[in-house]
Amino acid sequence: MSKLGNIGAKLHRGEVSYDFIGKRKVWFTVSLILVAVSVIGLAVRGLALGIEFKGGTEYQTSVAVTDSTIDDFGNAVKATNAQDLGDPVVTTVGSDKVRIQTRPLSQDDITKVRTAIAQQAGVQPNQVSTSQIGASWGDQIANKAVLALIVFLVLVFLVIWIYFRESKASMAAIIALLHDVLITVGVYALIGFDVTPATVIGVLTILGYSLYDTVVVFDKIRENTRGITGSNRFTYSDATNLAVNQTVVRSINTTLIALMPVGSILVVGTVVLGTGPLKDLSLALFVGIAVGAYSSVFIAPALLATFKEREPGMQALRRRVLAKRAQQSGSAAVTGEPAAALVGGGGTATVVRPQDRPKAGTPVASSRPVKSTGSAGRPQPSRKPRSKRGK
């Protein structure tokens, strides 16, 4: 078995444990910083909306695509000095077509850009097709994207509530999902990548991935906390922390496996192709998968434990557990033994105590009968007469 596999087995059995839930304030602080940076990026730089959302003009023509096609056509369009041109988006379609997208332009500027593209491609201007996308159509696309996100979150809340029969689990999952979306969108604002319909698809995809990982952890928490109020062995946070330790290796493995191909697509879309829907989709997937794995391990379980620990029943359980541990610590101090430790595995937890040592002056149990010699004497084990002892 590999080293990571050995660690995973020990984590699952409770032999090794990291205090994920106990350090929840650290994780919450990190998330608040990331969210604050994302909000600042959105407020200062904003999102670079693609032509599908803000409207514009698209040009297409046939040309033999080479390694310098994107740069050549981009420079040719910029040389027209059209008003409010911005940074044109140039992509290749197959090996024989190029597509250029610009901001909304006046009719005269559209003609100038069309002529420049035709000269660069070596064709007549009438062989360059143009199509204009209105801003109203882009607003409709944006509204439908927001509506799809809202419907998705509502359905997620209801499904988790029905499955776990716990509204607090739904609240924790929704907060974690919003955390993932906000950070992913903030990265787009800070980097300056165009937000296109492919970006929306990527965001909705990573929400499903993050939700799946969170539900796996929550299911283990439910298994560990079944009937927890009827015992005084461990608190809800203890059981939650055990569940996170039991699933963390699985989360790491699935995340790395998912990030490797997505990272390859991101490199190809950014370095090789330079622009296009492949780059927009892969960035949303890469950032979303990484942030989703983080939230499913560090944020969602900690939120659930925080919500549950506020319940009166869980507070009473916590007081009983702490009182019992304090009593065990006091007993251990008298006997000189280490305090009891909480371990768990397979969905259960057990308080493991050191062997009780007898106190000084306490008779020790023996398998032989004990005969008393009177109130002044010490009890002695009965022995056979010498004549009857075996040789």
> Tell me, what amino acid is at 109?
D
* pLDDT at res. 71: 82
What six digits make up the tokens of 62? Answer: 């046939």
* pLDDT at res. 123: 86
Q: Which of 97-111, 232-246, 269-283 has the lowest mean pLDDT?
A: 269-283
CB neighbour burial string for 85-98, b if at least 16 within 10 angstroms, e if fewer: beebbbbbeeeeeb
In the predicted structure, residue 226 carries a pLDDT above the cut 80: yes
In the predicted structure, residue 249 carries a pLDDT above the cut 50: yes
Higher pLDDT, 383 or 96: 96
Q: Is 90 helix (H, G, I), strand (E, B) or coil?
A: strand
In the predicted structure, residue 337 carries a pLDDT above the cut 70: no
Q: Which of 12-26, 34-48, 101-115, 330-344 has the lowest mean pLDDT?
A: 330-344
C-alpha to C-alpha distance for 5 and 269, rounded to whole angstroms:
34
Q: CB neighbours (10 Å) of residue 19? A: 12
pLDDT band of 26, cuts 50, 70, 90: very high
Paired sense of beta strands 129-133 and 56-62, if any: antiparallel
* pLDDT at res. 380: 54
C-alpha to C-alpha distance for 141 and 148, rounded to whole angstroms:
11
The mean pLDDT value of the chain amounts to 76
In the predicted structure, residue 275 carries a pLDDT above the cut 50: yes
* pLDDT at res. 334: 52
Q: Which of the given ranges, 65-69, 87-91, 121-125, 375-379, has the highest pLDDT on average?
A: 121-125
C-alpha to C-alpha distance for 211 and 273, rounded to whole angstroms:
31
Tokens 């942030």 -> residue: 291
Higher pLDDT, 342 or 186: 186
Task: Name, in order, each residue with C-beta under 8 angstroms of 116's C-beta and a sequence gap of 6 or more.
Answer: 76, 77, 79, 80
* pLDDT at res. 33: 95
Paired sense of beta strands 194-195 and 48-49, if any: parallel
Q: Which of 165-174, 213-222, 279-288, 302-311 has the lowest mean pLDDT?
A: 279-288
Whether 52 and 133 have beta carbons less than 8 Å apart is answered as: yes
